[in-house]
Amino acid sequence: MRVPRGEIFGFLGPNGAGKSTSIKMLLGLVNPSAGEAFVLGAPAGEVEIRRKIGFLPEEFRFYQWLTAEELIEFHGRLCGMDASTLRKRVPCLLEVVGLTPHRGKRLQGFSKGMLQRAGLAQALIHEPEVIFLDEPTSGLDPMGRRLVRDVIRAQRDRGATVFLNSHLLSEIEVTCDQVVFIREGEIMVTRDLRNWHEEKVRVRIRARKLMPAIIAGLSRWAACDQNQTDAETVMLTGAPRDSLPEILSYLVQSGSEPFEFTPQRTSLEDLFMEIVGEDRGL
């Protein structure tokens, strides 16, 4: 598996698939039982290369007796940053993660979401080239999620690589450039979300005067399901993308009055279920 530089890379899989363990191996927290990994060309876990790596752990536990400002400053000092740089950088980061009003408060009074924001700030303090985020939005409200999404994109835009491990597939879908699915430590599928075009799509059609004969005619393109409770709605499954204009003109010419014709992209969640299969109680 290779993660290209400057991308937002999603790392997906069911519980127990080995996502967090993989990140820990890449960071040198856990020793691999076999094989090898490289980060920015250096063997995983090498101390010097960590100067260019940021990490938000899944269990964002920090010294509770520090204030948000002190926490970020402490992590900056661990990265070898001097006091004058930190004086400029810490307030900026607090602003970015929306913690400026709480900068002087101790972490022990922080909610899960606020801790996660503080954790994100400590991961970014030294402007790393690679950022590992393990479930960065799990404790956040919708506003917080948007904020994290914006921060992640801003990091990519400045040239950083973001390695994102998340269960929130909708988040991954709107944020990541590329995703990989793993199960039981094995890579199942790699997918480039920027150029993800499906040959066959599902189409939701809503139309008045949708006669049975018309519906029967649709089956020449794809399998057709009529909604049991709503006679005006049908779903076409597996329609060739190229034939969509043809299907629409067929509907109009055959006398129905379509007011909705929506090709539906297979969501990452559908893909996830397809790849990972049924929940086997992991």
Partner 1 sequence: MKTLWVIASITFREAARKKILWTALILGIGFLMVFGAGLYYQLGDLRAGNMPPFLRYQVLSATLMIGLYTVDLLAVVMAIFTSADTISGEIASGTIHAIATKPIARWQVLIGKWIGFVSMLAIFVALLFGGTLAVGYWVAKVALQNPIRGGLLVYLECLVVLTATFLMGTWFSTLTNGVIVLGLHGLAFLGGWLEQMSGFAQGSGLVTLGVASSLIMPTEAIWRRAAFLMQPPLAGALQFSPFANISVPSATMVVYAGFYLIALLAVAIYHFQRRDL
- Residues engaged in binding partner 1 (CB under 8 A): 24, 27-31, 47-48, 50-51, 53, 55-63, 65-66, 74-75, 77-80, 119, 122-123
Token readout for 252 is 């109009």
Residue 142, H or E segment: helix 142-157
Alpha-carbon radius of gyration of the chain: 24
Q: How far is the CB of 276 from partner 1 (least distance, A)?
A: 26
Which residue number, 75 or 156, has a Cβ lying nearer to partner 1? 75
Calculate ∠ Cα 175-176-180, nearest 5°: 145
Q: How far is the CB of 157 from partner 1 (least distance, A)?
A: 24
Q: What is the dihedral of CA 173, 174, 176, 179, to 10 degrees?
A: 10
Q: How far is the CB of 75 from partner 1 (least distance, A)?
A: 7
Q: How far is the CB of 77 from partner 1 (least distance, A)?
A: 5
Contacts of 149 (CB under 8 A, 6+ apart): 137, 171, 174, 175
Which residue number, 125 or 276, has a Cβ lying nearer to partner 1? 125
Token readout for 177 is 């450039």
Q: How far is the CB of 206 from partner 1 (least distance, A)?
A: 50
End-to-end Cα distance, the chain: 24
Which residue number, 139 or 217, has a Cβ lying nearer to partner 1? 139
Which residue number, 112 or 265, has a Cβ lying nearer to partner 1? 112
Residue with tokens 């913690």: 99
CA atoms within 13 A on the CB side of 200: 7
Which residue number, 162 or 251, has a Cβ lying nearer to partner 1? 162
